[in-house]
Each structure stands twice: as structure tokens, then as C-alpha cells.
Amino acid sequence: MKWWEYTRKESNIDFVNRISSEKGKLTACRYENSEKAKKTRSNYWRSDKGKQSMKKYHNSDKGKLAIKKCVSSEKGKKIRKKINKKYANSDKGKLMLKKYHNSEKYKQIKKRWLKTETGKQCMKRAIAKRQRDFKWIPLINDPFPEEIMVEYHHVLNNFHAIDAEGSWNKWFVIPIPKITHRFVGGNADNLEHWRHNEEWIRKLFCIDINELLGVI
């Protein structure tokens, strides 16, 4: 056969035969694991053509089924956990997570979850842990009638100070109505919780927290 008589179809058949042989399979396996092949694949998936191809595959029924199967497998779970952990520790991940936690969507999801049995149990454990971590010295007795549910607010005016962990300010608590105490969430990053309750302590008891702790 002359070279000009060698058609593309015959060329493809010849290639399939060679790659299907034991020698061909071994050669293909070595190439797939080589640094050159990894770099080529990486460059392709980062290109516009590669991104479009990946997007098309992910939106297809075959792609959705493959992804679902992969995510459900033990290997897929480990890979996903590793990727999520790496992303969460990155600057971009931390920024996105903080933005999501401040969104209305997350607040609504959290609100619904806290009403479930699992959410209630989790909240009880968190409150119990918090109470173990903080010392508890009431600055004043509870002046409210039994009809008003009361919670004790920790006076954390220097919560973000360098020596906050050893601060004696974490010992002192003041009783305030539960609805007032929880009106603004009291997570560690939310300074509005402390400002809100400090203002109500001033209104209810005529006590200035900063002045009081400055005297102490």
C-alpha cells in the first residue's frame, strides 16, 4: 500500500489496535502518570475550551450521575473533605464563609435548623460548654419578677484584648431579661451584642460598665 492510499479510517483502526495491545496499554499508562501528561491536562481544563467541555459534561445526565456516584463513595467523600478543608483555610475561603454567615439565606437556614431536635441538642451542648469555660460572679442580684425570664450577661468589654483569655472581666455577670439578652446574637465576632446589652444595662440599672470596671 502506498502512503497516499493510507486513509484516515485505516490509520484510526491501526492506532486502536496498537493501543489495545499489552505494549500499547503499558505505554499509555506510563504516559498518563507522567508529569507531561498531568501538565497537559491541567492546561486544557484551565482553557476556555476545557471549561466549556467540563460545564457541558456536568450539566448532562451522564455527568450528574457520575458526580453523584463519586460524591457518595468513600473515596469521593475523603477527596471532598480534603478540598473543603483546604478552601476553608484559604483567605478567599474565609472571606466567602464570613460573607455567607452574614447573609439572610444562612440566617434563615440556621433559624429553621435551631428549631429541629438536632439543632436544640447542639445549642444545649454549646451553652453548657460556654458556661463551663466562663466563671460566674453576679455583680447584682436578680431584681426581676418570676414572670420575666432572665439570663446572665457576661461583661466582656475587653473580649478582643490580647490578654482576653486571662481577663478577670470574664468572671462577672449581670441579670437581664432573656428577650433583651438574645435580641442581638452573642457570638464572639459580634461586638454589637456587647454594645446592645451594655446600653440596656445602663437603662435598666444606671450602671456604666466601662466606668464600673475602671473602678474595680
Alpha helices per DSSP H over 115-170:
117-133
* Lookup: cell for 133: 469555660
Please state, in angstroms and rounded to a whole number, the distance separating the CA atoms of residues 140 and 174: 6
| pLDDT level of residue 4 (50, 70, 90 thresholds) | very low
Please state, in angstroms and rounded to a whole number, the distance separating the CA atoms of residues 73 and 56: 23
Q: Which residues constitute the domain of residue 20?
A: 1-32
The pLDDT score that the predictor gives to residue 161 is: 45
Q: Cα separations (Å) of 52 from 44, 71, 185?
A: 11, 22, 43
Statement: residue 163 has pLDDT above 50: no
Count of domains for the chain: 2
Domain membership flag for residue 54 = no
Domain membership flag for residue 74 = no
Domain membership flag for residue 107 = no
Low-confidence winner among 21-30, 50-59, 116-125 (lowest mean pLDDT): 21-30
Domain membership flag for residue 62 = no
- For residues 153-165, average pLDDT: 55
Which residues is 137 bridged to in the sheet? 172
* Lookup: cell for 90: 484559604
| pLDDT tens readout for residues 81-120 | 888 888 888 998 889 988 888 899 998 998 899 889 888 8
Domain membership flag for residue 83 = no
Domain membership flag for residue 76 = no
Domain membership flag for residue 16 = yes
Q: Which of 57-66, 180-189, 205-214 has the highest mean pLDDT?
A: 57-66
| pLDDT level of residue 185 (50, 70, 90 thresholds) | confident
The pLDDT score that the predictor gives to residue 170 is: 63
Q: Cα separations (Å) of 25 from 16, 31, 36?
A: 11, 10, 18
| pLDDT level of residue 177 (50, 70, 90 thresholds) | very high
Question: DSSP code of 103?
Answer: S
